[in-house]
Amino acid sequence: MVTDIKGFLDAKVAQYNQPAFIETDPIVIPHQFTSKQDIEIMGFWAAVLAWGQRVTIIKKCRELIALMDGAPYDFIMNHEEPDLKKLLQFKHRTFNDIDTLYFITFFRYHYERFDSLEDAFLSPLGGWGAELALNHFRQYFFSLPDYPHRTKKHISSPSQKSTCKRLNMFLRWMVRKDNAGVDFGIWNRLQQADLICPCDLHVDRIARKLKLITRRQTDWLTAVELTEHLRDFDPLDPVKYDFALFGLGIEERWGLDTILPSVIR
């Protein structure tokens, strides 16, 4: 069964992990930029806002970029108080102006101290693992005085038993290195072998059909279980299979009942 599934998923990775994937996915947003900080800022924002229809997510991210004069990092670092007024109109589902302004406050605080957002995921305790990094990041993100309590719902962590789908997706974008041109691979201290596969509804559904998930609920341990099975296929780059599972769930969902029985035998 492992050989059949691995070959099937490898083929799907090759099919979806290519530039054509970018245009309809939220990763198109950071691909508008060339500077590391702009890629990090809008990659993070696009990942956090990634719920709902992808067309709407992309539209709202472009609206946010326009409100920051097309230059997110420059706006964050050099804005004055009156410049923030136009951001009061920004809203995407439950993400509103209060959340937007706190994100800007956090980014300015961080980039005044560090050159890269990667540092925000590096625990002072040392060592690296996705669980440690994500728990540390949430604590750090909300370490500023008077952070809005309502914004905490937008930043998940394993300590909350969340799958952390959006943050794991962002880490995949920043950390994975290959020659396909989709993921950026601009971070070097976090390792792609240790990443956890983003586990959204589409990935979860396909992974269960392929028997890569046996856990009944969907939570952090479910994402870990899925990733452990994917490491059997590629221990150095398990999250590349996110392309295959997500692509199957979105693009080929109607034909799966015909395809999958021939793979699982």
Specify the 3-state DSSP secondary structure of 148. Answer: coil
Helix (H), strand (E) counts: the chain: 11, 0
pLDDT in tens, 142-198: 999 999 999 999 999 999 999 999 999 999 999 999 999 999 999 999 999 999 999
How is residue 166 written in tokens?
Answer: 């959006």
Domain ranges of the chain: 2-263
Q: How does DSSP assign 82-103, residue by residue?
A: GGGGGGGG--BTTB-HHHHHHH
Looking at residue 123, its pLDDT comes to 85
Per-residue pLDDT at 111 exceeds 70: yes
Looking at residue 3, its pLDDT comes to 56
pLDDT-derived band of residue 253, with 50, 70 and 90 as boundaries? low
DSSP letter assigned to residue 178: -
Q: How far apart are CA 208 and CA 79, in angstroms?
A: 47
Q: Which amino acid is at 234?
A: D
Q: pTM to 2 decimals? A: 0.94
